[in-house]
Structure 1
Amino acid sequence: MMIKETHLNEEDDSICLQIIQQPSIDSTKLNDPGGSFFEPRTEGNNRSSPTPCVPREAGSQHRNYWDKAPEKKLTLFALNVAILEKAASGLGALGFIWATVVLLGGFASSLEKKDFWVVTLILITEGTRIFSRSHELEWQHQRTWTIADAGKQRLHAIASSSRLFIRAIKAIFQQFSAIKLENQQQKQITEDIQMITQTHVLPHTRQQAWTTFDVPLILSTNWVFLSKIISRALYWLQLLSAVACMILSLMRLVQQDYGEIQPETKNRKPALDLFYGLALGEALMFLLEKAYWEWNISVCKLLEQVNQECDLGTTDIGIVPIKRFFYDAYSRCINGSVFDSLKMDLVSFAGELLDSDFHDEQLTGLQILQKFANSDRFSSDTLRKIGTLTSVMERLIEMLSWENPANEKIRRSAAEVVSKLAGKKQNALRVAGIPASIECISSLLYTGRKFDNEPYEIWERNIVADQTNYDFSAFNLLGLLILKNLSDDHENCWKIGNTRGLLSKIIDFTTTGERLLRNDPLTESQIKAVKRSLQVVKKLVSTTGETGKMLRQEISNIVFTVSNIRDILEYGENHILLQMQGIEILTSLAMDQDAREKIGSTGGVLRLLLSIFFKPRLTEDQNKVSVEAGETLALLTLNSKQNANCVLKQMQVVDQLVDTLTDPVLQINSSRILRNLCACSGSENFLCLRGVTEAAPTVLHSLMVKDSKLLQESIGLTTQIFRFMTPEEHDKELKRACISATKFAKRLLEILEKYNAPCVKFPRIRRFVVELVIWLMKSHEQYKQLFKKFEMDRAIKSVAETTSKLECFPVFSGSIGLNRHDISLSSLADVALELLMEYAK
């Protein structure tokens, strides 16, 4: 819905519990007090529109992240090492073929015994190195499959759960043996079985599988060989093999004692030289590769350096994901093209980990995404990258519904990443476009309220709510933040409104009351939950079009909506930001005629709004809250006789409104409220409203000298004030204001000539002038003469010929008009022209 600029800094969730001097509310409303529902706005001017993105500066470090990503150092390193490895392997393969085909195949019988055994030994040693190399990479890769110290943790978990399992089995056999268990024993069995289930059964219906650290390689011993030991053994075996090949080859190349040269063996010497040269080259190439490896890994600490640049060192996972990423990149280079690693990045790698069957790998992938999404350097590019990976987004959304307490950390990390994704408009549409995404987000919210008619809620309560250590507040805040970000888009608001039970959940978080707001100060998480829920509701009810109409009806139909806001208005004097949001929600709801009546019929709401409107103001924020309360009252009293009568029942309300007409901050909304009260009142309220005539001098002065939105409202109020005056009193007030009838008539003509076409900023100014002209001609014959003299008929004909749909509505939802006027402007113009023609006759 098109409304005035946002009054709150919605991205700042930090709120002091004891508020004395409130933080400034970002708004331009005081400078433009008429910017509201009473004029149409384009979509870009929505109160609920997201904060515009700040353009990046040229040469910013945030640009082209994927060209300068820290992990590119690892992919380039993997490329260089793979080139050396494949070069060494190529030389080794050539030497092996040369030895088996040429030497052992062609010269086997003529080789000296020494050369025969040296060649054989080199081939065996080389074969050992190749075997060790392939398996070393496998075991090195395996070392990165779980987080640090995972072996100890898993062994401890196996031992602990085994003891629990034995206890449970014993208890079951005791039950079958007809021995009656005591209540304490039965309770112990239940707890043990629950612990076993939570420990061994993976949620999300995935099959449990062994990990490397679970499988003991030697069952007869009391210890388990870890992959680290095996990989190191294979590493040293390779080095020894390469050194042996180098020594043997170099020794034979130096000695050159290959035996006597015979005519049939004249090629033996060059054949052996070539073989030993190939073996020496391969060993040197491999040792160069190892030296290059150790220099970068052990001396330059490349992995630690990249880990620090990625800022992953502060997480629970530490350097493990960097190692895993490097070995994945290196494996691709070895097993495929050497350039395959250049296609890898940490975000895509983390997305692959999310599809793993193992808890540790899923958590590792999530923590990488979470860290990058929260990084000032990488956040924008990371979120853009995730937004292009549909499978990753679907997996993240799926994780939001993993309600098993064993997955609390995974679920929370996924929620944080999704909240960041939803904060980007292009990604918000993709998030909401995933099937059942809103339902998964809804599952994050839990208020403790029992919805007996909603089986899903009962199921959720049974699965999650009984876990006393489950951090519901964190998930509530994340769920509300996601919904808040998603609701920036019109289509997403429709989906949120059509998700079963979600609106009721959101409204539940606005529950406060006197005990929480005054007696028991809200905790930081509680006040954030209330604030975010109000922000979500505000964005939903301020949606434009049919979607906004539907949402306003649905939200106003929830019995707790208005009463919860009433509690905030009544007891939230120390939480002015919450009051501001509550009033803005009422303002948007008041756009709907039925909701307007429901708000007015909720006891105390109108009284509280009047109290806030008239409350002494000491700060700029209090000014803005008063302005918002005034606009809400103006909407609530628009074409609502019930609400107008309720307002008039308040003590001396008319006198107070008249007094605020001289207040620069409140005068526009005071004029609107007074006009609505006069327009909707019946004869029974004539005496109560008679005091409005005291405002005549102030209003007439504004009509004669102002040229702004105040002019429009002053003209409208002037017509209503004159209704409570006799012609004599009208003339008397003009004289008190030093305004002659001629001057007054000429001023009205000037206004029509100035606004000779519909004006977006002042859509009702021509209607108010024509209404005032009609009243003057009906009450005073002299004005017919003056208007005829000044050719008012020409100006009114121009109004009739230029009327537009813009002037048919008193309020607007964006560019859509609401609450059409009973009498059109063209009909009013016809009446005015008929009165002028009667005088001419």
Structure 2
Amino acid sequence: MIIRLFAAKVIAELATSLRAIAVPGIVQAVSALLDYGDQQKKGHPLLQGADAEHKIASGSSVMNGNDKNDNQNQRVDEDLGTGSLLETQDRSTQCGASNNENSWKLRWWKRISGIWSIPHEEQLTEEDLLPALGMSILDGLASCDKANCVEISRETGLIPKIIDFTGYCNFESDAHQRVLVKSSVKLLHSLTGFDGEIGVTLRHKICRHPFLPRNLAHILGDSTSSQELRKLLAGIIRKLAIDTNARQAIGRSRLIISRLMHAFITPDGTSDTDDDMLLRKVSGQALAMLAMDSSGNNCVAMLRETGYAPVKELTCMIHDDRFRCIAASLLRSLCLHARHELKATDLKELSSGLREVLERILRAEGAELEIVIGLSSQISKAIPEEFARELEHGEIKQAFMKRLVDVLGANMQPSSDCPGIRRMILEQAINLMEYNSRYVNCFNNRRMIDALSMVEETISEAENYNIILGDVGLVEANEALPSLVARAKQLLASIASAYPSHHGAGQEGEATAMPERRLNCFVRSVALMERVGNALGTLAFTWATVALLGGYPTALRISDDFWYATAIFFLEAARD
């Protein structure tokens, strides 16, 4: 056992430069190290047979050994810290010396012990547990080459063994368990982070384990968990949440969502160290990934979590450069998947942060621009009146429209960091045009139809996904880009048919109509003056006739009825 222990330590040091394909059987050998974790499983009484009991018994006999020397080695391993390498070496040397002190074996052994890099007084610690060393070797192999990850994924039963160690949660009573948990969490963090097809395969195998969400929740909920361990766990959740089934499974553990919200929205203490900020950021990213779709009602669970005002807190975070993208992504998901759960106070908070969102759209680039446009699109759907009012009163409507069309035309080849930017722009434009047809004219004047034609000619499959990891598209969008292009074109055409103008004709027609409107005003003014003149002439003629006929009739009083009669004569003359 001691030989195996130190062999494992040597391989752990070399693992970062080893290729599993060049060392046949290394993954299987390392997998066997994980069997030393004293994790004897109990099978279901209706499924476990006599053959399983025979395997357990035979396995125990092999592990325990059949002679006194094996029993002695086992006692050394069980103590793991009470004996030293020097003492073991001395016992071996004494046995050899009793037969022949001058033998070549003794001289060779002393030479090896002299150049060994392990201090004579070094005590074996819990770090030397074989399963922990095995997981350290696997971590090194995974970081060396993707081909090693393929071998790890192919090894039968290896992934479940690794996950089983995350079930050791009684930290206070057993330091060995603490090391095993940390080793397994660190390894899972590495395995879940790979891109491409191998990353998809590994995450799928990991998230299939039925006890993984429970184990993660227990570790997150343990007050003795270190900050480093919680950061690794949040990173695992963030990466696993790429998979739809994993999002649903993790979301069903409300404790996970609660602990992540606590870490992101209301972090402990007032410390502002880099480690604190990193834990907060990774926790927020995990929440944002869990909120990517509505399949598991994770967004509803976040809004219903007691003790928090998530919309208010997230709206405030939009002003913070460190958390803007995370907060904006979360707010977009909440508006998209849980709009029916938003209260009046939540909508008011959205309105208060709208100005900052619109200003960021005018300045941001890349992935941040995609995220804030996506948020503004959902805000315009949740509170359309307030959105339109902010555009008008903020005097940024023209700049906002121009920005959308310009970015749409500038991203004919979307990059992997913002694959959905054109989709977000079209969603925003469609929401505005559906709310009020005057925005259709605005987009027509900005030659939106030309930009849409270019988008239609350059659509790529990658744009139907929210995330591109390596060469694999993940988290498929609710509506594909071709469908959005068709809807936008239909809205633009609906106004163009009523008022024929496109490709800039709207601006030319408006300029041509200006002199006509002025001429119409002049004609109306002349007509009005003519009527007034005719009325005054008729009035003068009427009173002159009265005077010639001998004055007022006896029925009229000069003081009261003169102006009354004058007004009647004037209006009648003007009407005619």
TM-score w.r.t. structure 1 length? 0.47
- 2:217 is aligned to 566
**Which aligned pairs between 1:164-183 and structure 2 lie closer than 5 A?**
none
Amino acid at match of 2:138: L
Q: State the shift of 1:755 in Å.
A: 2.4
**Which aligned pairs between 1:424-463 and structure 2 lie closer than 5 A?**
424-425=17-18, 427-431=19-23, 434-435=24-25, 437-445=26-34, 446-453=36-43, 459-463=58-62
- 1:719 is aligned to 377
Q: State the shift of 1:713 in Å.
A: 0.9
Q: Tell me which of 405, 412, 416 is aligned to 2:5.
A: 412
- 1:643 is aligned to 298
1:695 to 2:382 alignment: no
**Which aligned pairs between 1:319-330 and structure 2 lie closer than 5 A?**
none
Q: Secondary structure at the match of 2:77?
A: coil
- 1:497 is aligned to 153
- 2:277 is aligned to 623
Q: Distance in 2 between matches of 1:666 and 1:808?
A: 26
**Residues 498/761 of structure 1: CA separation in 2 closer, same or farther (3 Å cut):** closer
Q: Distance in 2 between matches of 1:782 and 1:617?
A: 50
**Residues 597/565 of structure 1: CA separation in 2 closer, same or farther (3 Å cut):** same
1:470 to 2:60 alignment: no
Q: Tell me which of 180, 185, 202 is aligned to 1:534.
A: 185
Q: Distance in 2 between matches of 1:656 and 1:817?
A: 31
- 1:783 is aligned to 439
**Residues 687/573 of structure 1: CA separation in 2 closer, same or farther (3 Å cut):** farther
Greater helix proportion: 2
Q: State the shift of 1:528 in Å.
A: 4.2
- 1:823 is aligned to 479
**Which aligned pairs between 1:89-488 and structure 2 lie closer than 5 A?**
408-425=1-18, 427-431=19-23, 434-435=24-25, 437-445=26-34, 446-453=36-43, 459-464=58-63, 467-471=74-78, 473=126, 474=128, 475-488=130-143
Q: State the shift of 1:812 in Å.
A: 2.5
Size of the aligned set, in residue pairs, is: 423
Q: State the shift of 1:531 in Å.
A: 2.8
Q: Tell me which of 459, 470, 491 is aligned to 1:803.
A: 459
**Residues 538/429 of structure 1: CA separation in 2 closer, same or farther (3 Å cut):** farther
Amino acid at match of 2:142: S
Q: State the shift of 1:610 in Å.
A: 0.9
Q: Tell me which of 220, 229, 234 is aligned to 1:583.
A: 234
- 1:751 is aligned to 407
> Unaligned 5+ residue runs, structure 1?
1-407
Q: State the shift of 1:756 in Å.
A: 3.5
Q: Secondary structure at the match of 1:415?
A: helix
Q: More relative contact order in 1 or in 2 (CA 8 Å, sep 6+)?
A: 1
Amino acid at match of 2:414: P
Task: State whether residues 587 and 632 of structure 1, in contact with CA within 8 Å, keep that contact through their aligned partners in structure 2.
Answer: yes
Q: Which moved more, 1:744-753 or 1:467-476?
A: 467-476
State the Cα deviation string for residues 38-76 of structure 1 (Å, max 9, x = none).
xxxxxxxxxxxxxxxxxxxxxxxxxxxxxxxxxxxxxxx
Q: State the shift of 1:799 in Å.
A: 1.5
Task: State whether residues 450 and 458 of structure 1, in contact with CA within 8 Å, keep that contact through their aligned partners in structure 2.
Answer: no
- 1:195 is aligned to none
Task: State whether residues 572 and 579 of structure 1, in contact with CA within 8 Å, keep that contact through their aligned partners in structure 2.
Answer: no
Q: Secondary structure at the match of 1:819?
A: strand
Q: Secondary structure at the match of 2:457?
A: helix
Q: Secondary structure at the match of 1:812?
A: strand
Task: State whether residues 447 and 505 of structure 1, in contact with CA within 8 Å, keep that contact through their aligned partners in structure 2.
Answer: no
Q: Distance in 2 between matches of 1:546 and 1:457?
A: 37
Q: Distance in 2 between matches of 1:739 and 1:626?
A: 36
How much identity, in percent, do the aligned residues show? 28
Q: Which moved more, 1:673-682 or 1:462-471?
A: 462-471
Amino acid at match of 1:452: K
Task: State whether residues 379 and 387 of structure 2, in contact with CA within 8 Å, keep that contact through their aligned partners in structure 1.
Answer: no
Q: Distance in 2 between matches of 1:571 and 1:499?
A: 32
> Unaligned 5+ residue runs, structure 2?
44-51, 65-70, 81-125, 498-576
Q: Distance in 2 between matches of 1:547 and 1:697?
A: 43
Q: Distance in 2 between matches of 1:645 and 1:506?
A: 32
Amino acid at match of 2:483: S
Q: State the shift of 1:535 in Å.
A: 2.2
TM-score w.r.t. structure 2 length? 0.68
Q: State the shift of 1:558 in Å.
A: 2.1
- 1:132 is aligned to none
Q: Distance in 2 between matches of 1:483 and 1:535?
A: 11
Task: State whether residues 700 and 718 of structure 1, in contact with CA within 8 Å, keep that contact through their aligned partners in structure 2.
Answer: yes
State the Cα deviation string for residues 427-461 of structure 1 (Å, max 9, x = none).
34323xx14x3232122122222213467666544
Q: Distance in 2 between matches of 1:458 and 1:439?
A: 22
Amino acid at match of 2:442: L
Task: State whether residues 168 and 178 of structure 2, in contact with CA within 8 Å, keep that contact through their aligned partners in structure 1.
Answer: no
- Two-structure CA RMSD over aligned residues (Å): 2.5
